[in-house]
A and B are shown apart, each in its own frame.
Chain A
Amino acid sequence: MSTITLASKRRRAALRTVAFMSPWLIGFAVFFAYPLISTVYFSFMHYDGFRPPTWSGTKNWTYVFKDYPFFWPALRNTLWLVLVMVSLRVVFGLGVGLLITKIKTGTGVFRTLFYLPYLAPPVAATMAFAFLLNPGTGPVNSILDRIGIPAPGWFNDPAWSKPALTLLALWGVGDLMVIFMAALLDVPQEQYEAAELDGASAWQRFRYVTLPNISPIILFAVVTGVIQTMQYYTQPLIAGKVASGVIQGAGTQFEPGYPEKSTLTLPQLVYNLGFQRFDYGSACVVALVLFALSMAFTAFLMRRRGGLNLAGD
């Protein structure tokens, strides 16, 4: 054993690292790097999946940005969802997190009840809400009618479809509740006691003790919320499909974004262009827009040092 040189020791260590990392190294190359480069390639090609791809220059790009009627509505919806849905979810999640730390009786039961909706499969949860909020016979509108509040059309009204999706997102706030709960319990108790001695009101204690202590988690919740919104697919798609009464099956074409493009999101466009219109090139253009947006937010999330420390070094 004494003949082992430093160089061979290093080589062995490197080999060991590669061996342990190999599943991911292969996965990264085959399921990430290769398809990402292909997406860039196809975005400049005309390809319908049957005839071989032909060079089309920037045609797909101008088509998506200028002539494809769904692109800008989808981007506008994303902006709406980021501003309204994400911020309401963070505020509500923080509120429920605060509430659960204050509840002293039956804490476990309350926490479980608040958390359960987060676990509901998105398709099932959306179908449930499409039923609960359907304007004709849905329980919510039945109750609103009985107590004399004018009931909205929810998923059938373009002005109400995104608020309805927001309600569904607030129902599933359990993940944020758990994260905020953990952060709130980590705030040093002495700071509250000191503030109380100084005569700080409840609001002042929240503003000057709680908020600064949990601000990294709030930032984390906002940025991951934005990234999730970039991927928002199943809920708006199912809500639109169920509300429009479309019957799935061979030959039925679903006009995405029902009602009036109000539930369109970018991921739906990739599906619409690629798998319904067989315009793979244009679908890749939207995919790249999605990529750029997601990576911008991810970079922002990772660049925050100190409080967040996602890499944990």
Chain B
Amino acid sequence: MTQVLDKPLELRAPVSPAERTARRKAVLEWIAIHSLGVAAALFFTLPFVFVLLTSLMSDTQALSRDLIPHTWEWGNYKKVFDTPGFLTWWKNTLIYAGLGTVLTVVSSIPVAYALAKFRFRGRNLSLMLVISMMMLPPQVVIIPMYLFWAKQLDLSGTLWPLIIPMAFGDAFSIFLLRQFLMTIPNEYLDAAKVDGCGDLRALLKVVLPMARPGIAAVALFQFFYAWNDYFGPQIYASENPGAWTLSYGLESFKGAHHTDWNLTMAATVLVMAPVILVFFFAQKAFVEGVTLTGVKG
């Protein structure tokens, strides 16, 4: 279609019928594809829009079949923040997600580095075990883990049973980082060795700066994992509302306000918003991480 504009109008050669049908076909195709795109965009965005609209309705209107608020009740959001416990859930979620992310990244990097760059017996077996752990539903080992943390260490009612294990590497993070480190050419490491760098120095000074995008992806995934986690807090923190996280608290919020769809949807927006905000600031790292885990090593 760009060729059309190559020449001034009056100099354009007469368009042959075959070319005209080809052009018409291209325009029709453009319209068809973009209409489909708009339809898909509606499917993906309308749920957000309806949730947002409901969160701004009055109590009575939220129980009607109306789609658009008569009066815009911005005070609903203040009511959510005033709900006892809501701010505590924020604090707990930030501690769990923040501390967990730092611990995971720090402990997973050396393991991923060894799996990507060291040659040793049992390397493939280790990698296979990492992948197996990654695929394992958390429910498989939850009974002994719960008994261990709750009965032996008396840590139920806290988030520590979820945070402490992250200091010992996370299978998914190790795998993703390892995939990323594989793409760093060995020549850089050899050069560092020739310059007299030990393994630790080479990792810190040469590999880590190059692996920054991979580390960012792992940190994001881990942060979102903890932010979204429902099962973990349900097992360990349910007995103590002071240790609930947003994901766990949100569901109980619906219980306490079970007819107030407007307040429940306002709380839902508040749980979704940080994740979406973080995504807008770190889109590239995130998409890179998804492709790295999915496509190839």
Contact = CB atoms under 8 A, between A and B. Distances in A.
Interface of A: 13-14, 16-17, 19-21, 23-24, 26-28, 30-32, 34-36, 38-39, 42, 49, 96, 99-100, 102-105, 110, 112-117, 119-125, 127-129, 131-132, 137, 139, 142-143, 145, 171, 175, 178-179, 182-183, 186, 217, 220-221, 227, 230-231, 233-234, 237-238, 241-242, 245-249, 266-267, 270-271, 274-275, 280, 283-284, 287-288, 290-291, 294-295, 297-298, 301-302, 308-313
A142 B43 CA distance: 16
Given A128-B51, A128-B268, A143-B67, 10 more contacts: A24-B107, A26-B168, A116-B48, A117-B48, A119-B276, A139-B67, A182-B294, A233-B137, A247-B256, A283-B143
A38 B230 CA distance: 24
Contacts of A32: 133, 136, 141
Given A113-B41, A171-B47, A312-B182, A302 B168 contact: no
B114 A123 contact: no
Contacts of B258: 245, 247
A312 B179 contact: yes
B54 interface: yes
A283 B145 CA distance: 13
**Main secondary structure on chain B at its contact with chain A?**
helix
Interface in B242-280: 246-248, 250-252, 254-256, 258, 261, 264-265, 268, 271-272, 275-276, 279
B144 A30 contact: no
Contact of A116 (B169, B254, B276): B276
Complex A-B, nearest 9 residue pairs according to Cβ-Cβ distance, in ascending order = A312-B297, A27-B168, A38-B144, A179-B294, A35-B141, A248-B255, A20-B114, A35-B144, A24-B169
Nearest to B246: A121
A250 B136 CA distance: 31
B138 interface: yes
Contact of A127 (B115, B120, B228, B254): B254
Contact of B140 (A105, A117, A291): A291
B179 A17 contact: no
A311 B254 contact: no
Interface stretch (B28-36, B73-81, B188-196): B28-36
12 contacts: A17-B120, A23-B108, A24-B107, A49-B151, A114-B44, A116-B45, A123-B251, A131-B265, A145-B65, A247-B256, A271-B234, A310-B297
Contacts of B130: 24
Nearest to A288: B140
Contacts of A280: 143, 147
Contact of A124 (B43, B231, B250): B250
Interface string B108-134: 101101110010100010111111110
B142 A295 contact: no
